[in-house]
Amino acid sequence: MSISIPPNTESNSKKLQPTGWLRYFSFSLDHKVIGIQYLICGFLFYLIGGVLAGAIRIELTSPMSDFMARDVYNQVLTLHGTIMIFLWIVPVVNGAFGNYLIPFYVGARDMAFPRLNAVAFWLIPPAGLMLISSYFINGAAQSGWTAYPPLSITTPAAGQIIWIISVLLLGGSSIFGGINFIATILKLRQPGLKLMQLPMYCWAMLGTSILVVLSTPVLAGTLILLSFDIVAHTGFFNPTLGGNVIVYQHLFWFYSHPAVYIMVLPAFGLVSEILPVHCRKPLFGYSTMVYSIMAIVALGLIVWAHHMFTSGTPPWMRLFFTIATAFIAVPTGIKFFNWVATLWGGRISINSAILFSCGFIVNFILGGITGVALAQVPFDVHVHDTYFVVAHFHYIVYGGSVFVIFSSIYHWFPKFTGKMLDDNIGKLHFILTFIGFNLCFAPQHWLGLNGMPRRVAEYDPQFTFVNQISSVGALLMALSTLPFLWNIINSLINGKESGPNPWKALTSEWLTSSPPPVENWIGEAPLVTEPYGYGHKTKNSNSPVQMNKKQETS
């Protein structure tokens, strides 16, 4: 017997739950259903955030503010940032894939706290709808996703308060998820499965969840203080009442810099799962990959003030945060060298999943290089709060995380649905996305260096042409969504049956039917101690997957 959890007391309640498509609208406790709920909900918000991005790019095709009212423009950019971060990337790279995959990877039948898991998901749709509906009440928040006071105190209060409540709910959801992942990874591991045998995504989620649990409460506290300033006219951050606006920035970035790692570390984990399967090679340098994730987590908590180099920071602080920030490039670099080494000498199937993963590597390296440059105070004092920064972080969160989300959808869609996606349409989707993305954001580096600040609806006419190129790129990105959507819908209906393991992968989500049964495996859970055991050597010996074989921990 190697069942790691005692006979599940939840099974009875699960039997009462709806089956079929209706269960995706229910308070389901099945981690796989919750994962899909996160994914689809996140994707719908991605489409809304994308429409808002389109509105921004239309406004910026001309140097005058002529497409929408100026305050509406600020609402649009605030909503775009908030939706893309809190309702798309964070819930999808953590909630969607985390919920679906982590129980498989640790050999469990569900997450540690299934009810908390469902609560965490069901906080998201109302929070998101509330955030968007604030636009129709009295105008949405218009102080950017950073909500710096005193601007956030002096702009119309209703939108800002709704924004705060939404972000608090989403932060709560994130904390619930983080606690659940930590408990599941550390406590629900199958007997015999050692920590250093876990797939890399588990390590990425463990690191991410530590960041979530340590830093999100700080954001929550900060936003509660900010709401007191708005509603009760307290003076925490209001300089006219003796408050300090810089303190808000420190508290805000104490969460919001780690938030970048909350968006990219899970993506790093997902890529580490996808590459070995399609390269037919072990993940290169497993143990250094694990240590570098933990190094990123530790360093990620002590770099926040690099967002404040022009705010008013004493010289010693600028120096410290420059060095700490730049050194994150070392563990991050290790991961990229290891991925390239994983490609090297492989037998690579050139499919949509691998193309999006390689697109991620290329985009993220550029974003990482501009990141090291931005960490240098003398460099930052020129380009801070310009389009250079806009380009940089879109290379990180879109070129990085969103490319990985698409790669993961191509990789795990057969597991989610039992159907294959059309790979040729997938390649078209990749080409459109990759060209559109780079056309949209690469020119923005130049805009920032030459004097275009971010968050403006009007700009110097000398930048018109480059902005139009960028908008054409945005149009291509919008168009790239169409083949993707068509591919999803068409494959769901007419797609080829995938079978349990179309990629001949070794991790345990593939060692069950597609889609998997309610408690993941019929019979005992397989014990996978070599999740990356591809390659010639293992070819002759037995499969590294030790089905139903108990290993004593010594």
Partner 1 sequence: MPTTAIYTILISLALIVGSIWASNSLDFLPAVASSNAPIYDELFKVLFVIGTVLFIGMTGLVIYSLIQFRKRPGQEGDGLAIEENLPLEIFWTAVPAVVILFVGLYSYDIYNRMGGMQLLSSDSHSHHSMSAQERLWGGIGEVKQEENESEVLPVINVELSAMQFAFLFNYPKGEIISGELHVPVGYPVRMRMESKDVIHAFWVPEFRLKQDVIPGQPTILNFTPTKTGKYPIICAELCGPYHGGMRSTVVVEEPDEYIAWFQKNSKSPDIEA
Within a 10 A sphere around the Cβ of 81, how many other Cβ atoms?
A: 18
SS3 readout for 476-539: HHHHHHHHHHHHHHHHHHHCCECCCCCCCCCCHHHCCCCCCCCCCCCCCCCEECCCCCCCHHHH
Among 116, 302, 341, 435, binds partner 1 (CB under 8 A): 341
Tell me if 524 contacts partner 1 by CB under 8 A.
Answer: no
Residues 436-455 that bind partner 1 (CB under 8 A): 446, 449-451, 453-455
Nearer to partner 1, 9 or 541 (CB): 541
Nearer to partner 1, 417 or 538 (CB): 538
Contact code string over 320-339 relative to partner 1, x by CB under 8 A? --xx--xx-xx--xx-xxx-
Contact code string over 385-414 relative to partner 1, x by CB under 8 A? xx----------------------------
Q: Residue 502: phi, psi to the nearest 5?
A: -65, -25
**Whole-angstrom distance, CA of residue 227 vs CA of residue 229:** 5
User: What does the block give as tokens for 314?
Assistant: 């004493």
Tell me if 318 contacts partner 1 by CB under 8 A.
Answer: yes
Nearer to partner 1, 221 or 345 (CB): 345
Tell me if 224 contacts partner 1 by CB under 8 A.
Answer: no
Within a 10 A sphere around the Cβ of 180, how many other Cβ atoms?
A: 24
Task: Please give the full DSSP string across 256-308, using - where no structure is assigned.
Answer: HHHHHHHHHHHHHHHHHHHHHHHHTSPPTTHHHHHHHHHHHHHHHTT-GGGGG
Burial-class residue 122 by CB neighbours within 10 Å (0-12, 13-18, 19+).
middle
Tell me if 196 contacts partner 1 by CB under 8 A.
Answer: no
Nearer to partner 1, 117 or 386 (CB): 386
Tell me if 47 contacts partner 1 by CB under 8 A.
Answer: no
**Whole-angstrom distance, CA of residue 355 vs CA of residue 357:** 5
Least distance from C-beta 118 to partner 1, angstroms? 37
For residues 152 and 188, the answer to whether their CB atoms sit within 8 Å is no
**Whole-angstrom distance, CA of residue 117 vs CA of residue 111:** 8
Tell me if 353 contacts partner 1 by CB under 8 A.
Answer: no
Q: How many residues bind partner 1 (CB under 8 A)?
A: 98
**Whole-angstrom distance, CA of residue 250 vs CA of residue 263:** 20
Over the Cα atoms of the chain, what is R_g?
Answer: 23
Part in contact with partner 1 (CB under 8 A); list of ranges 194-202, 226-234, 259-267, 317-325: 317-325
Least distance from C-beta 446 to partner 1, angstroms? 7
Nearer to partner 1, 376 or 546 (CB): 376
**Whole-angstrom distance, CA of residue 531 vs CA of residue 456:** 48
Residues 229-268 that bind partner 1 (CB under 8 A): 239-240, 242-246
**Whole-angstrom distance, CA of residue 110 vs CA of residue 103:** 5
- Position of tokens 């926040």? 304
Nearer to partner 1, 234 or 311 (CB): 311
Residues 155-174 that bind partner 1 (CB under 8 A): 155
- Position of tokens 């968006």? 263
Least distance from C-beta 214 to partner 1, angstroms? 25
Nearer to partner 1, 301 or 365 (CB): 365
Tell me if 426 contacts partner 1 by CB under 8 A.
Answer: no
Tell me if 148 contacts partner 1 by CB under 8 A.
Answer: yes
Residues 464-523 that bind partner 1 (CB under 8 A): none
Among 51, 137, 195, 369, binds partner 1 (CB under 8 A): 369
Least distance from C-beta 468 to partner 1, angstroms? 17
Tell me if 362 contacts partner 1 by CB under 8 A.
Answer: yes
- Position of tokens 């991005």? 53
Tell me if 302 contacts partner 1 by CB under 8 A.
Answer: no
